[in-house]
Amino acid sequence: MKIFYWLFVFLGSAVLLSKSVIGHHAYNANYTDERGSIEGVVVEVFWGNPHVHYYLQVTNNDGSQSLWNLESENLGMMTRAGWTIDTLQVGNRIRVFGSLGREGRPRLAMELNSVEFLD
Amino acid sequence: MNTDKALSLKKLLFGGLCLLFYIFPVAQAQENFLGIWQIWVESGYELRPAYGTLSIETNQENWEVYVDGGPVVVLDLNEENIRFELDWVDLRDTPRISVLEGVLDNGVISGHATEDGEERGEWKALRLVEQDNFPPNPVDLSGIWGPPDYIGKNVFDLTDAGWEAHEAYDPTLDDPMLRCMSDGLIRMSHGPFDVEVLNAGNRIVMLYEDMHEIRRVYLDRDFPDSIGSLNQSMGYSIGHWEGSTLVVETRGLKRSVWDAPGMPISPDAIFTERWYLDDSGVLHIEFSMNDPENYQRPVLMHQIRTKQPDNAEVSPYSCDPHPFYRGLDIEGRLDEYWGRSRYRL
């Protein structure tokens, strides 16, 4: 299975154009203004508050594996957006956009409407 | 007096009068800006209308302008015009700066706001009028009120102790919400969540969607003697009616922060709210946090909430700290977290 990731970097207003709104928490301390996309396989789902998380196994360009932490919204906002616990399941191979973690940390503030199923 | 001295005195008097006539109209006109205003901006922190408090002062040498208790940068202030930078944060805690430019005409300041040259809508300010203390005339505030809108002022004048607390705080490790601990009354008072208000005789009960916190505002009693050592995230609240405005005072808060980036709260903070309905049924909550340990002047906020339909329900909120610890484990930061126990709020 060939999985890779790449980065798209936009400056300035990119964050503001994003659909992801992880407000009320330390968003700015955890994420940069840089948007990126990753591809990988969902290996764990956390469907709960304070925020829904998905954990993605990603194969890097050099063939090594990394576990990425995808942060989403609180349950109320997810539900209002039409998502359920079954929307993304363990084993799904996806591509997703979002804001990248600070200091190169493997985390992404995912944009709900950017998820693309690859299988 | 010789002729030279008399001439010098005349010159001095003439020069002084010229200076007076030059300065007086300008100073008088600028003084029209002095005072406390209620400001309204078309685009608040979520691009929705919001209110705040604009305070224009002078220290004899410079104009000092504050929005919601925090200083703003004055770009220009002359006879009829004011221009200043309003710093604020959006829902994602991203710092933003809008430039507000307005004209004073007929007692109203009005104009446009821009951000990076882009239009952000209109704004205006009306002078605040001191209100009489009307006899109690309670109104029904019960119902579910939606998430608040407000300006979201970012910068406040911290004391040395306030800076020290703010600098020591790591929002990625110390935030109590990460561990599913209550974020406290002041933070949840402006978080993006509903609040349900219930009348219960001698108390008003407020059910916060955020963390499912419960708050009781007692209408028939004073603070307990032990208030100084209460140390609770929601504090202890007592209230009374001034006309149709519910005035609530809260003390006994625990040492914490009132936003995600870490603005501090001391246990001596006094949190005062004024809850009232406007003619269209919108709920206004004006709050003031007086915390001299951390802030040079009270932090203010004016938020508005819209009533939700009668069939609305407050969503359940069960919080699980699993993703916080899972994230630290993935990032190899668990040891860093354990080592910061003395900073934990």
Q: Is position A57 within any domain?
A: yes
Q: Per mean pLDDT, which range of B17-21, B69-73, B200-204 is the poorest?
A: B17-21
Distance of alpha carbon B237 from alpha carbon B249, whole angstroms? 6
Distance of alpha carbon B168 from alpha carbon B256, whole angstroms? 12
Q: What is the pLDDT of residue B10?
A: 54
Is a pLDDT exceeding 70 seen at residue B196?
Answer: yes
Rounded to a whole number of angstroms, the distance from the CA of B85 to the nearest CA of chain A is 18
Q: What is the pLDDT of residue A80?
A: 85
Q: Which two tokens stand for residue B156?
A: 């406040």
pTM of the complete model beyond 0.90: no
Q: Which domain holds residue A36?
A: 5-110
Residue pointed to by tokens 């484990």: B329
Give pLDDT tens digits for B284-295: 999 999 999 999
A65 touches chain B (CB under 8 A): no
**Are the folds of B35-127 and B143-317 the same?**
yes
Q: What is the pLDDT of residue B221?
A: 97
Is a pLDDT exceeding 60 seen at residue A2?
Answer: no
Give pLDDT tens digits for A52-101: 999 999 999 999 999 999 999 988 889 889 999 999 999 999 999 999 99
How does residue B267 score in pLDDT terms, banded at 50, 70 and 90?
very high
CB nearest to B172's CB, from A23, A30, A67:
A30
Q: What is the pLDDT of residue A21?
A: 38
Is a pLDDT exceeding 60 seen at residue B12?
Answer: no
CB B127 within 8 A of CB A59: no
Rounded to a whole number of angstroms, the distance from the CA of A38 to the nearest CA of chain B is 16
Is A46 in Cβ contact with B326 (below 8 Å)?
yes
Rounded to a whole number of angstroms, the distance from the CA of A28 to the nearest CA of chain B is 6
At residue B18, φ and ψ (nearest 5 deg) are -60, -45
Q: Which two tokens stand for residue B87?
A: 């710093």
- A26 neighbourhood in chain B, CB within 8 Å: 93, 171-172, 175, 260-261
Interface test with B, best of A24, A47, A67, A78 (most B CBs within 10 A): A24
Query: Which CATH homologous superfamily contains domain B143-317?
Result: Calycin beta-barrel core domain (2.40.128.20)
Average pLDDT score over residue span B180-200:
94
The residue among A23, A95, A81, A83 whose CA lies nearest residue A47 is A83
Is B92 in Cβ contact with A23 (below 8 Å)?
yes
Number of residues that this document lists for chain B: 345
Give pLDDT tens digits for B282-337: 999 999 999 999 999 999 999 999 999 999 999 888 899 999 999 999 999 999 99
In whole numbers, what is the pLDDT of chain B averaged over residues?
90
How does residue B22 score in pLDDT terms, banded at 50, 70 and 90?
very low
Total domains present in chain A: 1
The residue in chain A having the minimum alpha-carbon distance to the alpha carbon of residue B171 is A26
How does residue A10 score in pLDDT terms, banded at 50, 70 and 90?
very low
CB atoms within 10 A of CB B115: 16
Q: Is position A119 within any domain?
A: no
Q: What is the pLDDT of residue B20?
A: 47
CB nearest to A48's CB, from B178, B192, B320:
B320
Rounded to a whole number of angstroms, the distance from the CA of A93 to the nearest CA of chain B is 20
Give pLDDT tens digits for B88-107: 988 777 889 999 999 999 99
Q: Is position A118 within any domain?
A: no
Residues 77-106 of A with CB under 8 A from B: 79, 105-106
- A72 neighbourhood in chain B, CB within 8 Å: none
- B326 neighbourhood in chain A, CB within 8 Å: 46, 53, 55, 69
Distance of alpha carbon B292 from alpha carbon B161, whole angstroms? 10
Give pLDDT tens digits for A17-48: 233 334 456 788 899 989 999 999 999 999 99
Q: What is the pLDDT of residue B301?
A: 96
Rounded to a whole number of angstroms, the distance from the CA of A42 to the nearest CA of chain B is 15
Is A76 in Cβ contact with B92 (below 8 Å)?
no
Is a pLDDT exceeding 60 seen at residue A106?
Answer: yes
Is a pLDDT exceeding 50 seen at residue A7?
Answer: no
Return the CATH architecture of domain B35-127. Beta Barrel (2.40)
CB B314 within 8 A of CB B207: yes
Give pLDDT tens digits for B31-90: 789 999 999 999 877 778 999 999 999 987 889 999 999 999 999 998 899 999 999 988
Interface test with B, best of A10, A28, A70 (most B CBs within 10 A): A28
Is a pLDDT exceeding 60 seen at residue B5?
Answer: no
Q: Is position A35 within any domain?
A: yes
Number of residues that this document lists for chain A: 119
Return all residues near A87 (Cβ < 8 A) that are at least 6 apart: none
CB B238 within 8 A of CB B246: no
Is a pLDDT exceeding 90 seen at residue B19?
Answer: no
- B91 neighbourhood in chain A, CB within 8 Å: 21, 23-24
Q: Where are the domains of chain B?
A: 35-127, 143-317
Q: What is the pLDDT of residue B260?
A: 86
Q: What CATH number did the domain enclosing A15 receive?
A: 2.40.50
Q: What is the pLDDT of residue B133?
A: 79
Q: What is the pLDDT of residue A5?
A: 35
Q: How many pairs of residues across A and B have Cβ atoms under 8 Å apart?
A: 96
- B180 neighbourhood in chain A, CB within 8 Å: 49-50
Q: What is the pLDDT of residue B13?
A: 52
Q: What is the pLDDT of residue B8?
A: 54
In whole numbers, what is the pLDDT of chain A averaged over residues?
81
Is A16 in Cβ contact with B326 (below 8 Å)?
no
Is a pLDDT exceeding 70 seen at residue B25?
Answer: no
